[in-house]
Every structure is written in structure tokens, then in C-alpha cells.
A and B are shown apart, each in its own frame.
Chain A
Amino acid sequence: MEAAHGHHAPGHDSAHGHGHDAHGHHPTGIMRWITTTNHKDIGTLYLLFSLTMFFVGGMLAMGIRLELMQPGLQFWKPEFFNELTTMHGLIMVFGAIMPAFVGFANWQVPMMIGAPDMAFARMNNWSFWLLPPAATLLVVSFFVPGGATAAGWTLYAPLSTQMGPGMDLAIFALHIMGASSIMGSINIVTTILNMRAPGMTLMKMPLFVWTWLITAYLLIAVMPVLAGAVTMVLTDRHFGTHFFNAAGGGDPVMFQHIFWFFGHPEVYIMILPGFGIVSQIVPTFARKPLFGYSSMVYATASIAILSFVVWAHHMFTVGMPAAAQLFFMYMTMLIAVPTGVKVFNWIATMWKGSMTFETPMLFACGFIFVFSMGGFTGLVLAITPVDIQLQDTYYVVAHFHYVLVAGSLFALFGGVYYWIPKWTGHMYNETVGKWHFWLSMIFFNVTFFPMHFTGLAGLPRRVPDYNMQFADFNMISSLGAFGFGLSQLLLVYVVVTCIKGGEKATDKVWEGAEGLEWTLPSPPPYHSFETPPAVR
């Protein structure tokens, strides 16, 4: 955070200052990327970083499915299997999904509100460059004695207070990534609140900007709580405190409360910007304005507020008074209302629209369909007695992959296809894009749909072996997972070919596109909106 206190701390004016050498001489090659304070460069860095981590986390998932293809132990020791599941979760959440959304915010927020750059350009650079060291710490932890942390991505005590040095590396990585997220969020809030073009009132902002504003507030509120929780784990491990040690008067269940106070808002942090992306795509390809704009804003805010009072639904089985179980159950169910408003509005936007189904729209429609299925299983799990039965089974695994993969990830894919012609100036390969969608959609369901059945039948998660009765469904899941993993190479192909060349994209790119970013050339100039555009 020192950059923020520095004298040349970047403000609106330093973006202009930087503009001067951009026209003359700014660093080229690798130094351009290391020293860049340009929101578009930093957005690109975030997106490429997250694509890399997506494949790292994906390889770990392939390792998990390889072991689970057959009952018995074939490939890994159980301890290593636990490392795989833990690191898959941590890397996908903190390395792939979250940085990808921050990348979108960096590219899109200034262009969508008519700002020249982010509010704190130098802090923006630092927010990004904290991530590669953090990711390195996580990956390196596989090679320290005892291996990477194997406590599950939730890092529950007392497992996390007893593990080897891999756990310490994970804690430091989380501290660094948390600092990066908080700085990024402060930047986004300040940019949105202070740097909108004249006439761009809050209720005229594109929904993607609205969802990110609310997400950034959530991040500022809960990332420090996670930092506190892992700090307590660290001091319990090395400095003789007893926050979570029963013998010293602490309580391991308290870790779960603190973690999920962060963790539940976190799951909305990973989905709200996805809602924003879908809310940009659907009107474009339905060629109609978004239905119920203001109700979308209020629904997003309601989801964010409710996310602070539902955390204990992750831990119904720890033993809590019935009154608390009822409270958390009803609050959780209440979230279905604003979420339902959103799904209704997307469908109402499509109603009687002149729809076409280019790849972004395919992903947006796929998102609405499959995310809703994940929402329904969420409602099932919200019912306390059912949840007590299904806690830690594959039903839960199916649920959160339906909302995180088919939700957040498909929204991200849709966003990439939607905006990549603007970013690169080239149209992507539509045929390969469509193949990417259909293969992802089919293999996703082949992988995760059977988990509903194995979960209902009682297959526990995070275990490398299972009873023979689950063999067939697990084989199907594994084959689906390998197909899903391979299909993602198509995304890399599309992105690489689109960066290298292709048909010139027009400024507007999509016939039905609305918004300030489409008034800029494709690709947009290095510094866009040096003079604020007029918004009517």
C-alpha cells in the first residue's frame, strides 16, 4: 500500500502525465509490461495470468479425476490426492476466477464510464504484479517437505494448524492475493465513483459496472476478514496462540464461522460480475434494452447484503441451536428472490427480441440455463435437514461446480468472446468459438450431472477411493472431465489466433451493441477518452 502514500501517487492527472511519454517513448518489450500503468495493459496481464492459472488448476482437476476414474488407489497416495483437491480449489478461486474478473474490470470499466484510465494507475500495476509471486508460492508449496496444504480450500482448523510448511506458503500467498484484491477493489470503487464522464449518472451505468462496484465493496469488506482468519492460523501454528486450539481454550468451529463470514460473500464476488457480463451480452444479441434495469441494480445490491447473513449454511452440521439453523435457512432461501428477479429479467429481455446466437450469446444462454440448475440445487441444500444429509457429499460438489464453472466461468468465456474483437481489433474464429461452447457445455454436464446421483447416494467428497457401487458414475464423470479439459485448448486457439490477426472488427462489432466502449475504434487507442465523452 506504499504506492498509495507516495507523493506521485497516481491520480487522474498522472494518467495524463503518462500519456506524454506514450506518444514519445514508453518502454517496449518485457519492460512495457512490468512498468505499465495503462489499464488496458494491466487488464491483459490479469487475463493472461488467469488463463495460465486456469490451466494449472485444470491440470490438478485432471489429476483428481484420473484417480477417481476407478475405485481403489491407482495413481496417487491419499495425501497427495488431498493436496490436489485443496490446491485445485485455491488456484481456481484465487488464481483463475477472481483475477479474470479484475482483468475485465480493468479493460472495461474505464471504457464503459468514459474515464481515461483507472484512478490509481501505479497502484493498479502493483495490484497485478503481486499475483505472480503469490501464485509461485502456491505452486512451489508442492515441493516443500510434507507437500502443499491438504486441508481443503477452506483451510479448516485443526487440519490447517497441524500441517507442514506448505500451509505457511499458502497462508502467505493468501495474504498477498488478499492485498492485491483489496488494492484492485479500492481502485475500481474510486474510478467508478469519481471518474465517470459528465452525464453518466449512477443509474445510467452499464450493469457490468454496477455489479463490479458492488463486488468491489464486498471485496473490501471481506478479504481483510480472510486475512485475519489465516493470520490466526499462522499465529496458532508458530506463535503459541490458541485461537483454534481446544486445549488452550480456543475452538476449531470458530475458524469455520470466521472463514465463512468471508467465504459466502466470496462466492458472490465470483458470480456478481458474471451477472454483469451476461446483462451486457443478452440485450446486445436480443437487440432490445435490458428489461428491468433498476430492478437488476437493486437485486444485485440485495444479493450482496444478504451474503453477509447466510454464512452458517455451510456448517449446519457443527452443532448450533435450532433457532440459528432456521435463521440461516430462511435467509439463504431469501437469496433466491433477487436471483430469480435477475433470471426473469434476462429471459424477459430475450422475449420477442430479434435474437442471434453468436458465441457470446451461446455462453450467456448456457450460463442462464446451467447456473439456474446450480441455483436450484442451492435451494435444496439450504434446507437444513436435507443439508445435514448431504453435507460433504458429491451433491455439494455438483452444486458449486454448476454455479462456479457453468456460472462464473461460462460468463467469463462469454465476456471474452463478446469483447475480444474490441480488445484486439480482430474478429475471433466463430466456428471454433461455437465448438468451444458446445463441447464445454456437453462435457461440463457429463462431468458434473452424475455427481448429483453419487452425492445423493452418499459418496463423500475429498476421498480418493470409493465403494464399487459408484464406479460407473465416476467413470462417466472422469471421461467428461477429460473432455472438458481438452475442449479448453480451443479457447487458447481462439485467443491466440485472434490476437495475431483475423478479419478486422468494426468499431461497434455487434449490431445491437450499446455503450461507450463501442464508440471507440477497435482496438481502442492506448489512451481512450482523454477528453470525457458526453453522455445524454
Chain B
Amino acid sequence: MVAGSQANQRMLVKLLVVAAAMFGFGFAMVPFYRALCEAVGLNRVAKSDVVGNTQVDSTRTLTVEFDTNLRNDLPWSFTAVEKSVQIHPGALTQVTFEIRNHSDRAVTGQAIPSYGPQLAARHFRKLDCFCFTQQTLAPGEVRRMPVAFVVDAALPQDVNTVTLSYTFFEVEGRKSAGGDGNDRGNAG
């Protein structure tokens, strides 16, 4: 049965190749997923939006509230200078946020926005935002950063309050990992 044994070996190799290829496929889904999200316009929270219609609807007033959060290991303070603003849909509005580094080392952070209610995300257009780039603060540094936005007049009529919430994450070099990770940049 030597022939049978050789056939088995060939089958083993083939199936191992399939298994290895599928392991690679799992990782290949990462760039594929990014490309797909890019193509259909999903998950573009940290990119500049384009505003087409600039018609201001002054008959309607919205409250936009600002919420600031830090992931617990980030030694910063993070506040919105204005806690909330009253705006008209379609009007360009600028607000200011402040971050302060309380530690004695330079720290890089990245802010990720989210919206409440969820459907407001589609109508909230950011022209400028500190969340488009990473922010590096020297020890003790304070930085004031603008956000310029327009809320689309197409926002459903029953929404009167929109909350824009930012969370700052530390990007590299976790404080406990001595050196580990410092040499690695942003995988994204």
C-alpha cells in the first residue's frame, strides 16, 4: 500500500496549504475591510467632510452638546470650552477644545468622535477637527484646538439636540510597556 501512503501524503500537503492560505486570508480581510469601508463611505469619522449645500435654515434652532472623555491611562485633561451651543442647521460653527498634558513625558493621543443620536452622524459635517490628526503634547503643554462644523439641514425634524462626544486614546508606548511599542508607529 505504498501508493496509498503517497496519495495520503500528497493530500496532507494540499490540505495544509489550504489551511495556511486561510490563515493568511484572515489577515487579508484587514486591508480588504478598510478598502471596502473607504469605497462605501463607512467609518470616515476622522476625515474632513465636504459641505455642498450651505443654505442656512434660520427657522430651526438646534442644541449641540459637547462631551469629552479620556481613556483611563491617558495622563491628560480634556475639556470643551463651550459645553453646548445653539445653532441653525446649515450654519458654519466653530468651537474650541482644550487638552493639557499632566505628565512629565511627551504623549501622543488620537481623538475618536461619536454622535448621539446615532443617525445624526450622517448629517454632522466636520470641516476642521483636531481628530483628523494625532496630537502630541510635550510635558505640561496646553493646546487649544478648533472644530469647525455644519449640521446638515436634512437632519430629521424630531432631532433637537445632537451630542458630539470625543474620546482621546493614547496612541503609542503604553505607560507600563517600557520601550515595548515605542518603535511601532500607527498601524493605520
Where the two chains meet, the residues of A that have a C-beta atom closer than 8 Å to any C-beta of B are 1, 4, 9, 11-14, 16, 119-120, 182, 185-186, 189-190, 193-195, 220-229, 232, 238-243, 245-251, 253-254, 257-258, 261-262, 319-321
Which are the 7 A-B pairs with shortest beta-carbon distances? A249-B188, A228-B26, A247-B169, A11-B5, A240-B181, A224-B23, A224-B22
Of B9-17, B75-83, B156-164, the stretch lying at the interface with chain A is B9-17
Q: A190 is contacted by which of B15, B27, B181, B188 (Cβ under 8 Å)? A: B15
Across the interface, which residues of B come within 8 angstroms of A240, CB to CB?
Answer: 172, 174, 177, 180-181, 184
B2 near A13 with CB under 8 A, answer: yes
Q: Are B30 and A12 in contact (CB under 8 A)?
A: no
Q: Are B33 and A251 in contact (CB under 8 A)?
A: yes
Question: Closest CB of chain A to B70's CB: distance in Å?
Answer: 11
Bound CA span A258–B31, Å: 12
| A16 to B4 CA separation, bound complex (whole angstroms) | 13
Is the C-beta of B154 less than 8 angstroms from some C-beta in chain A?
no
- Across the interface, B16 reaches (CB within 8 A) one of A4, A221, A249, namely A4
* Cα distance, A178 to B40, chains bound together (Å): 34
Which of the residues A190, A227, A246 comes within 8 Å of B11, measured between beta carbons?
A190
B95 on the A face (CB < 8 A): no
The distance from the CB of A433 to the nearest CB of chain B, in whole angstroms, is 38
**B111 to A: closest C-beta gap in Å:** 8
How many residue-residue contacts, CB under 8 A, span A and B? 137
Residues of chain B lying within 8 A (CB to CB) of residue A4? 12, 16
What string of 1s and 0s marks CB contacts (under 8 Å) between B125-164 and chain A?
Answer: 0000000000000000000000000000000000000000
A228 to chain B, nearest CB (A): 3
Chain B residues positioned under 8 Å from A246 (CB to CB): 112, 169
Task: Pull 27 A–B residue pairs with CB atoms less than 8 Å apart, ordered by A.
Answer: A4-B16, A11-B6, A12-B4, A13-B1, A14-B5, A182-B19, A186-B15, A190-B8, A190-B15, A193-B11, A194-B4, A194-B7, A195-B4, A195-B8, A220-B22, A232-B26, A238-B180, A240-B177, A240-B180, A247-B109, A247-B112, A247-B168, A251-B37, A254-B29, A254-B30, A258-B29, A261-B29
Q: Which residues of A contact B50 (CB under 8 A)?
A: none
What secondary structure prevails in chain A residues at the interface with B?
helix
Chain A's nearest CB lies how many Å from the CB of B178?
12
CB distance from A221 to the nearest CB of B (A): 5
Residue of A nearest to B168 (CB): A247
Measuring CB to CB, which residues of chain B are less than 8 angstroms from any residue of chain A? 1-2, 4-9, 11-12, 15-16, 18-20, 22-27, 29-30, 33, 37, 40, 42-43, 71, 109-110, 112, 118, 168-172, 174, 177, 180-181, 184, 186-188
Minimum distance in angstroms from A219 CB to a CB of chain B: 9
Distance in Å from the Cβ of A103 to the closest Cβ of chain B? 21
With both beta carbons as reference points, the residue of chain A lying nearest to B174 in the complex is identified as: A240
Give Cα A261–Cα B174 distance, bound, in whole angstroms: 31
Q: Which residue of A is nearest B172, CB measured? A: A240
Least Cβ–Cβ distance between A275 and chain B, in angstroms: 23
Q: Which A residues are CB-close (under 8 A) to B43? A: 251, 253
The answer to whether A120 and B12 touch (CB under 8 A), given A228-B26, A246-B169, A320-B42, is: yes
Q: Are A227 and B23 in contact (CB under 8 A)?
A: yes
Q: How far is the CA of A466 from the CA of B169 in the complex (A)?
A: 33
Known: A221-B22, A254-B30, A321-B40. 4 other contacts (CB 8 A): A4-B16, A223-B22, A224-B19, A241-B184
Docked complex Cα distance between A244 and B22 (Å)? 20
Alpha-carbon distance A16/B186, docked complex (angstroms) = 56
Find chain B residues with CB under 8 A from A232 CB: 26-27, 30
- The reply to whether B5 and A1 form a contact with Cβ atoms under 8 Å apart is no
Report the minimal beta-carbon distance from A177 to chain B, rounded to whole angstroms: 14
Enumerate chain A residues within 8 angstroms of B177, measured Cβ to Cβ. Answer: 240
Min Cβ gap B31→A in Å is 11
Q: Are A194's CB and B22's CB within 8 A?
A: no
Knowing A12-B1, A319-B118 are in contact, say whether A248-B18 is a contact too (CB < 8 A).
no
Distance between Cα atoms of A323 and B5 in the complex (Å) = 50
Contact A248 B29 (CB under 8 A): no
Given contacts A246-B169, A247-B170, A261-B29, whether A224 and B15 have CB atoms under 8 Å apart is no
| A258 contact set on B, CB distance < 8 A | 26, 29
